[in-house]
């Protein structure tokens, strides 16, 4: 059985207060919703955190299809991370990789699972992506009060 996951991050100001949201579909009739955030963060950090928290939810190795609207996360995992590791966490421009701690944590979480990475266009009517966005923004709104 493949489990579907939708992740999203949001930020009010960049940097600013940020939130992340996750929708996990193990049983499509009973989705799992997760969210959280930080007071001083960036949108990219929240996108990474959403993905990390989604994967940490699972105690055992799982087969997952992970939908993200973040090209930063998807490209980072599928295209950039291996070279960053080879180059001691430097970019092709020889600069330190931003958010290295989060990338390291995500890399360790990914190693536990079999993941099919999918990009979904944000704010395009995909109900699960919209719910993940809602959960991320809900955290921001609750912390602003």
**Is residue 29 very low, low, confident or very high in pLDDT (cuts 50, 70, 90)?**
confident
In DSSP terms, 6 is beta-bridged to: 23, 67
* Residue pair 9/58 in contact by the 8 Å Cβ criterion: no
Q: What CATH number does domain 3-144 carry, 3.40.50.10680, 3.40.50.150, 3.40.50.300, 3.30.420.10?
A: 3.30.420.10
- Is 40 annotated in the active site? no
Active site residue 8: yes
pLDDT at 18 over 60: yes
Q: Quick check: is 123 catalytic?
A: yes
- Of 105, 140, 135, which Cα lies nearest the Cα of 5? 135
HSE (side-chain half, CA atoms, 13 Å) at 74: 16
Residue 107 annotated to the active site: no
Of the listed 19, 37, 76, 133, which one is catalytic? 133
- Tell me what pLDDT residue 27 has: 84
Indicate whether 1 pLDDT > 80.
no
- Strands of the sheet containing 3-13, edge to edge, are 32-41, 16-25, 3-13, 63-68, 114-119
> Is 59 noted as a catalytic residue in this protein?
no
**pLDDT tens across 57-75, in order?**
999 999 999 999 999 999 9
The yes-or-no answer on residue 47 being catalytic is: yes
pLDDT at 98 over 60: yes
| Average pLDDT score over the chain | 95
Q: Among residues 37, 69, 76, 128, which one is catalytic?
A: 69
Whole-model pTM over 0.85 = yes
């Amino acid at each position: 059985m493949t489990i579907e996951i939708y992740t999203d991050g949001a930020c009010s100001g960049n940097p600013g207060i940020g939130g992340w949201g996750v929708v996990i579909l193990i049983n499509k009739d009973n989705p799992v919703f997760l969210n959280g955030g930080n007071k001083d963060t960036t949108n990219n950090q929240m996108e990474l955190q959403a993905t990390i928290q989604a994967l940490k939810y699972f105690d055992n190795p799982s087969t997952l299809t992970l939908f993200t609207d973040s090209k930063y996360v998807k490209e980072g995992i599928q295209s950039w991370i291996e070279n960053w590791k080879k180059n001691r966490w430097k970019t092709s421009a020889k600069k330190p990789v931003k958010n290295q701690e989060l990338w390291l944590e995500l890399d360790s979480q990914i190693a536990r699972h079999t993941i099919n990475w999918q990009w979904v266009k944000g704010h395009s009517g995909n109900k699960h992506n919209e719910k993940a966005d809602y959960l991320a923004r809900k955290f921001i709104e609750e912390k602003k009060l």
